A and B are shown apart, each in its own frame.
Chain A
Amino acid sequence: MNKTFEAKDVNLAGINSSLLEVNIGPQHPSTHGVFRMNAVLDGEVIVSLKPVMGYLHRNHEQIAENMSYAASMPYTDRLDYFNSMSNNLGYALSVEKLAGLEVPERAEYIRVIMAELTRLINHIAVIGFLLNDLGAFFTPVLYAFREREKILDIFEEISGSRMMCNYLRFGGVKRDLSPAILERIRGVVTAFPRFLDEFETLLTKNEILCMRCQNVGVLSPELAINASITGPLLRASGVNYDIRKVDGYSVYPRFQFKVPLGPKGDVYDRYYVRILEMRESLKILDQALNTIPAGEIMSKKMIPFLKSPRNFKPPVGEAYARVESPKGELGFYVVSDGTPQPWRYHVRAPSFINLTILEDMCLGQKVADAIIILGSVDIVLGEVDR
């Protein structure tokens, strides 16, 4: 028999009994995956909040170091499973930088079109889920997913898979876009603004949304820069930093688009910056669809390696390439030792680093606000835990 429990056995000295420690997660719908927030509450106010991650850790980096370069490409889809095309693009750029590969113009345009379609799906889903966290149970998400589905159908037709696309290759893309597909993409691009208007009519000036989101989870631009925050989270705080503009990778310098900025850096600004970014993405898509040139889709140097990827050996060296993924700066750092496998492969995951300031944004807020602050950071646990 176990010893019976008695009140005098508990030593209460040194324990602050007015504070309550609550674990939000790891199995909780509003943590968007297996993620835990170790919160200390005073009443309903948060006095400390520590993010705990690693539940989905599978050491992606080590797995990639034991495979050929091309074999990691499908695995990058599984990092941030909402944006497989952006992940492909980041990885392809870093290996191309390492091996000094040129990408044909048509392939660059296809890549930009795919990356921007991905941005649309990501932002629309994030806004839907943010509203879910606010208590608008699944109505906005269903509107969002209706549109997302149309884009996923296009992905399925060109790559064979809705979410795990694995469509980009080093030096180009896997398959050419037919005129029929381009027409379908154009159809989505023309119809999307109308959906956005409808979405905005429901949400942007909605009183509940404004009351819940304005002045909640404010992030100052100084802290955002210092804590390496990137993506819509940074731009909502008013810092003009978009890697598409700064680095001008791929063919982005050829397109006219603006970088939307938020005035205050609260949850509402993050919501609205994402809406505006979608409108800018549509501008890029429109220009890209109008000016896409005809031509090759694979670099000639890489065609022999499509059938025998293990023979692909980039020269000794290292490369760090970054892209503006919908969640922020997605960087790939690859070190080659001249063998078919990378010596070092590292993913600079935006949602992992954006979590650094979760505590700073939540301090002094209510528990319910912590949920929407996390929702506005936009994390995907496949990428956080890698």
Chain B
Amino acid sequence: MDTEKVKADLEKALGPVALKSVRSSLLVENAQDLPKVAKFLKEDAAYRLDYLSSVTASDFIDYLETVYHLYSMEKKTGPVTLRVRVPRTDPKIPSLVSLYRGAEFQERDNFDLFGIVYEGHPDLRRIMMWEGFEGFPMRKDYLQEDSETLESVDVEWLEKNGVKVPEAAKAKAVELRQQGKRALAERRVEDKG
């Protein structure tokens, strides 16, 4: 669908909403406007975008972004792509679950892997990673644990359970602890971000 036309229609119907065309999609500049925009697109007779195909997030270092692909099952048209950008420090976006049930698991997925908080989601928990997992694996600054190196907690646990730990590994664990560091995998040079 023609992004400029969608933009004009939205501005006409909703009054002052800050919208910007980015790569044949509409950037909703104020995250709080999103439910209003989605509701209009879902209910307006000219659009009837009743099917939220995909909700996904990206990490662009300066900000986190959520992208929505909307289609219409009734009119067999689409997609209209909406995107919302939020700062990394306080990533909060209003949830679309009350409008589209299909967002339920996908928003949980983004919360789990990117740490974006969807306000108003009925059951915002981790979905792929286990409860108590720390960090957000899909963010570009996420550092993986080094599974080869033991930390002092690991050494304690292993010895408690009767596993003999090599002296070299123990010394490394002590050294890490003294430096106040964790055993993290070194990033490859060609890694981005």
A residues neighboring B (CB under 8 Å): 53-54, 57, 59, 61-62, 66, 223, 225-229, 239, 241, 246, 317-318, 320, 322, 329, 331, 333, 335, 337, 339, 341, 343-344, 346, 348, 352-353, 355-357, 385-386
Contact = CB atoms under 8 A, between A and B. Distances in A.
Given A53-B128, A57-B128, A246-B76, A348 B54 contact: yes
Interface in B86-117: 100-106, 109, 113
Contacts of A343: 58, 192
Given A54-B129, A228-B100, A335-B58, A355 B192 contact: no
B33 interface: no
A-B pairs with lowest CB-CB distance, top 6? A228-B102, A227-B101, A54-B128, A57-B128, A348-B54, A344-B58
B127 A62 contact: no
B21 to A, nearest CB: 14
B53 A322 contact: yes
A335 B129 CA distance: 24
B35 interface: no
Interface in B111-126: 113, 126
Interface residues of B, number: 34
B4 to A, nearest CB: 18
Given A54-B130, A57-B128, A226 B101 contact: yes
A225 B105 contact: no
B76 A241 contact: yes
Given A57-B129, A226-B50, A356 B23 contact: no
A331 B192 contact: no
B96 to A, nearest CB: 11
| Among B50, B51, B81, B104, residue most surrounded by chain A Cβ atoms (within 10 Å) | B51
A322 B78 CA distance: 12
B149 interface: no
Contacts of B23: 317-318
Interface in B151-193: 188, 191-192
B91 to A, nearest CB: 16
A97 to B, nearest CB: 12
A66 B191 contact: yes
A238 to B, nearest CB: 12
A223 B56 contact: no
A335 B192 CA distance: 14
A320 B101 contact: no
B78 to A, nearest CB: 9
B53 A59 contact: no
B20 interface: no
22 contacts: A53-B127, A54-B127, A54-B130, A59-B128, A59-B138, A61-B113, A225-B50, A226-B50, A227-B102, A228-B51, A241-B76, A246-B76, A317-B23, A320-B69, A320-B79, A333-B69, A339-B192, A343-B58, A344-B56, A353-B105, A353-B106, A355-B105
Nearest to A54: B128
A252 to B, nearest CB: 14
Interface in B52-79: 52-54, 56, 58-59, 67, 69, 73, 76, 79
A66 B76 CA distance: 36
A229 to B, nearest CB: 8
A225 B69 contact: no
Contact of B102 (A239, A322, A335, A353): A353
A159 B10 CA distance: 49
Given A59-B137, A228-B53, A356 B104 contact: yes
A275 B171 CA distance: 64
Contacts of B106: 353
Given A320-B81, A331-B69, A348 B53 contact: yes
A16 B165 CA distance: 48
Contacts of A335: 58
Contact of B54 (A57, A223, A226, A331): A331
A320 B23 CA distance: 12
Nearest to A355: B105
Interface string B126-158: 111110000001100000000000000000000
A187 to B, nearest CB: 36
A22 to B, nearest CB: 20
Contacts of B192: 337, 339, 341, 343
A346 B56 contact: yes
